[in-house]
Structure formats: structure tokens, C-alpha cells
């Protein structure tokens, strides 16, 4: 099969789709990848067995640039004659749905990984819903990366159960279990602690993701500021790119990110596993999410999660079993949940052990990727 995977930015391919693309290449398929040029594009181009083609796909609404991207995608799809086009991320999903439909790509797929408009009101929300409805209408099939996200979309009339599906238990590509073994990363974690200036006995809360207002960074820093007064050995480490344009963080939060003596914001790292290996807890107080794969990556390490009770996270965190969920945008509730797990070692260990068992049973990337490859074959057989 000749397959094209598309995402708006290289970061998404590198961070979320690497194992799935490798599995597709390993199964003997010809794989092409399209993203915008920019940071990380050279690493996408270096993926083994992959043909990379950069096309500038703007993330914000930009009518003229969107038309240029649409034309570029249409020409590329028409020339390459793919059997399958599979997109992810919102803008790539919309433009690829139109371009692949016009180019008559036989099987057109999109995976929803969270809705950027979920927290918005007014015209932006209406446009977002209309765009997602068009994505479902023009594609052969679409996937939600979690059951709660599928139900959220269905409740808004975005697709039907016949066209909108969840593979297995959810997630985009599962977790590469061999990468997330705490015992194998002990030396790397110790080196990181020393490099970050942490004393012996430091206890770490980790955040992995975009450092953005919608990720609940303000609530996280506020809760940590109060925790730090009570727990003198607690540290907060944030791993991920800063994205504050158009949604600035409060000034005191930005100040703490750069100046609090026990907060370390380290930026993007393509290998976050060493940071998770030194953590006691993962904290993800997002306003909106897809499945949040980092939860099962942390779980594979035996690290439980405290997160927001929102679409997506209610699937990656089994509440009361593998972690704790709190109301969204509630710094006090977040502080209370973190305090409970920091004080109750037995509870924290029990949740971590259950998180590890669940990651291994339900989210092994080999099983998730095999299910997708079987889906590809079945869809092509239906078309023929």
C-alpha cells in the first residue's frame, strides 16, 4: 500500500506518530509524510523508510495561505496516487479532507485528537464545528482517540457511529513500553536531577506537554506555589515547548516559571521518559485534551496522574484507579489532590501499580498499531 500521513507541524509526527509510522514501514508499505516546514522537519525527513514532502499548512485561519496549502496538497495527492491518506491535527484534517476528496484518493481517514474550539464560544466555535462536520463528511472514516471524545462529537452532530470510530481502548498510537521502564532509566534520571540542581530526596511533580494557557499552567503553578510552602522537598518540572502567543499566561505565573527556585521549565525534549522516571506524579490540569498519551507513558513507569475531569482525560486516567481527576480550572482542588497523593505513599504506589498494569494490558503500541494496519487493509478491501 502507498500511504500518506499528514500533520500540520513536524512536532506532532515526531512526538505522537513515530512508532506508528515505523510499524507501517516495517509492514512493507510505502509511507510518505507531509508536514509544514520548520523546527523538526529535518528529523521527520530522516525517519527510516519515509519519503518526506513539506507543504506549509498554517495553523490559524489564514484564507489565502490556506488556499495555497490546499492547492499544494491537491497537486501532491493527484501526482502520487495514494491508496490511503490519513491526517491528524485540525487544519491538516480540514485541508486534506478537501484535497484528497478532489484528488479521488480511495481511502481518506482523519484522527481527531481534541478540539481546539472546545473552550470557545461564538463564531470560532461554530466554524470549528462546521469544519469537523465537513472532515467527517468527506472522509471515508474518522477516528476519535478516546471514547469520551467520540461521544462529545456525536452529541454535537459531528458524524455518525458508522463513520466515527475508536480503535481498541483509544489513544493515538499507544505507548512504546520498552522506552518507559523506570529501572532502565535510573541512571539517566539521576543525571537529570543533578543537572537540574535538585538535592538528594527531592520529590518531583512532572508536566509534559505544551506550556500553554489551555494546558492549565496557571492553575498548576498556583497550586505548586502553595504546595512548595508545605512540602520543602517538592519540585515541579515542565517538559514541553512554550506556546503563549495569543494566550499569555498571568505575569506572576511567567515569573515563577523562570525564577521560582524549585520550578524547572526545560522546553521541548523528544525523549521525555527520563523526566517521567524521576517523577512521583504526573500533573495534567488541561482545559481541553485528546486522549493525552503522556498519561499512559507515565503509567508504564508506575507514575499516577492528577488531571482535569474533561473529555479525553476521563479515558486515559481511570479515576480512583490509576490517578485522580479534579474540576477544570480549579487550582484549590488540584492542590488538594496533589497533597493527598504526596502525603499517602501507599495510595500513590497503588495507583501507580494499577496505571502500569493498565498501560501494559490496553495501550501497548504494538497492539494499537497492528489494529490500525488491519483497519487499513479492511477499508481497502471494502473499496475494491
Distance CA 276, CA 46 (A): 26
Residue environment code for 305-339, b if the CB has 16+ CB neighbours within 10 A, otherwise e: bbbbebbbbbbbbbeeebbbbbebebbebbbebbb
- For residues 79-88, give the mean pLDDT: 97
Distance CA 3, CA 101 (A): 15
Rounded to 5 degrees, φ, ψ at 358 are -70, -40
* Same structural domain, 144 and 200: no
> Measured in whole angstroms, how far is the alpha carbon of residue 48 from the centre of its chain?
22
CATH of the domain at 278: 3.40.50.2000
**pLDDT for the residue 304:** 98
Enumerate residues 6+ apart whose C-beta is below 8 A from 313. 284, 286, 289, 292, 295, 307, 325
Q: Are 53 and 76 in contact (CB under 8 A)?
A: yes
Distance CA 248, CA 43 (A): 29
Distance CA 20, CA 370 (A): 9
* Same structural domain, 75 and 197: no
* pLDDT, tens only, 15-42: 889 999 999 999 999 999 999 999 899 9
* Same structural domain, 328 and 372: no
* Same structural domain, 229 and 244: yes
**pLDDT for the residue 120:** 76
* pLDDT, tens only, 342-371: 999 999 999 999 999 999 999 999 999 999
Residue 384 has pLDDT above 90, yes or no: no
**pLDDT for the residue 244:** 67
**pLDDT for the residue 159:** 86
Tell me how many domains the chain contains. 2
DSSP reduced 3-state for 146: coil
* Same structural domain, 158 and 217: no
* Same structural domain, 217 and 145: no
Domain span at residue 324 reads: 177-362
* Same structural domain, 374 and 311: no
* pLDDT, tens only, 301-332: 999 999 999 999 999 999 999 999 999 999 99
* pLDDT, tens only, 271-282: 899 999 999 999
* Same structural domain, 228 and 132: no
* Lowest mean pLDDT across 167-176, 202-211, 221-230, 241-250: 241-250
Question: Among residues 267, 308, 319, which one has the least CA distance to residue 286?
Answer: 308
* Same structural domain, 244 and 160: no
Cell of 104: 479521488
* Same structural domain, 306 and 332: yes
Distances (CA, A) of 76 to 81, 107, 108, 223, 294: 8, 16, 15, 48, 33
> Measured in whole angstroms, how far is the alpha carbon of residue 273 from the centre of its chain?
15
* Same structural domain, 298 and 332: yes
* Same structural domain, 84 and 219: no
Amino acid at each position: 500500500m502507498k500511504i500518506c500521513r499528514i500533520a500540520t507541524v513536524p512536532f506532532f509526527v515526531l512526538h505522537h506518530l513515530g512508532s506508528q509510522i515505523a510499524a507501517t514501514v516495517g509492514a512493507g508499505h510505502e509511507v510518505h509524510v507531509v508536514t509544514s516546514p520548520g523546527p523538526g522537519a529535518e528529523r521527520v525527513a530522516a525517519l527510516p523508510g519515509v519519503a518526506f514532502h513539506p507543504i506549509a499548512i498554517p495553523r490559524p485561519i489564514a484564507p489565502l495561505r490556506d488556499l495555497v496549502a490546499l492547492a499544494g496538497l491537491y497537486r501532491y495527492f493527484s501526482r502520487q496516487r495514494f491508496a490511503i491518506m490519513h491526517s491528524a491535527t485540525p487544519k491538516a484534517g480540514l485541508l486534506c479532507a478537501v484535497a484528497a476528496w478532489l484528488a479521488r484518493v480511495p481511502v481518506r481517514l482523519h484522527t481527531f485528537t481534541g478540539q481546539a474550539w472546545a473552550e470557545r464560544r461564538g463564531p470560532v466555535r461554530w466554524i470549528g464545528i462546521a469544519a469537523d462536520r465537513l472532515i467527517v463528511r468527506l472522509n471515508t472514516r474518522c477516528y476519535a482517540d478516546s471514547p469520551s471524545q467520540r461521544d462529545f462529537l456525536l452529541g454535537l452532530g459531528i458524524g455518525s457511529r458508522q463513520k466515527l470510530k475508536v480503535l481498541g481502548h483509544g489513544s493515538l498510537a499507544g505507548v512504546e513500553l520498552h522506552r518507559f521502564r523506570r529501572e532502565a532509566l535510573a541512571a539517566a534520571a539521576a543525571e537529570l536531577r543533578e543537572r537540574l540542581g535538585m538535592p538528594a530526596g527531592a520529590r518531583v511533580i512532572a508536566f509534559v506537554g505544551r506550556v500553554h494557557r489551555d494546558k492549565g499552567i496557571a492553575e498548576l503553578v498556583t497550586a505548586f506555589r502553595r504546595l512548595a510552602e508545605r512540602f520543602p522537598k517538592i519540585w515541579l518540572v515542565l517538559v514541553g515547548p512554550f506556546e503563549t502567543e495569543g494566550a499569555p499566561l498571568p505575569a506572576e505565573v511567567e515569573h515563577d516559571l523562570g525564577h521560582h527556585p524549585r520550578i524547572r521549565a526545560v522546553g521541548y525534549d523528544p525523549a521525555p521518559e527520563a523526566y517521567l522516571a524521576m517523577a512521583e506524579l504526573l500533573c495534567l490540569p488541561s482545559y481541553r485534551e485528546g486522549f493525552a498519551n503522556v498519561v499512559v507513558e507515565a503509567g508504564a513507569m508506575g507514575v499516577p496522574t492528577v488531571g482535569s475531569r474533561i473529555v479525553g482525560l476521563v479515558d486515559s486516567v481511570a479515576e480512583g484507579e490509576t490517578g485522580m481527576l479534579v474540576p477544570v480550572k480549579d487550582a484549590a482542588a488540584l492542590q488538594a489532590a496533589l497533597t493527598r497523593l504526596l502525603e499517602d505513599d501507599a495510595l500513590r504506589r497503588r495507583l501507580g501499580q494499577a496505571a502500569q498494569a493498565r498501560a501494559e494490558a490496553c495501550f501497548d503500541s504494538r497492539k494499537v498499531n497492528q489494529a490500525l494496519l488491519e483497519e487499513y487493509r479492511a477499508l481497502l478491501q471494502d473499496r475494491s
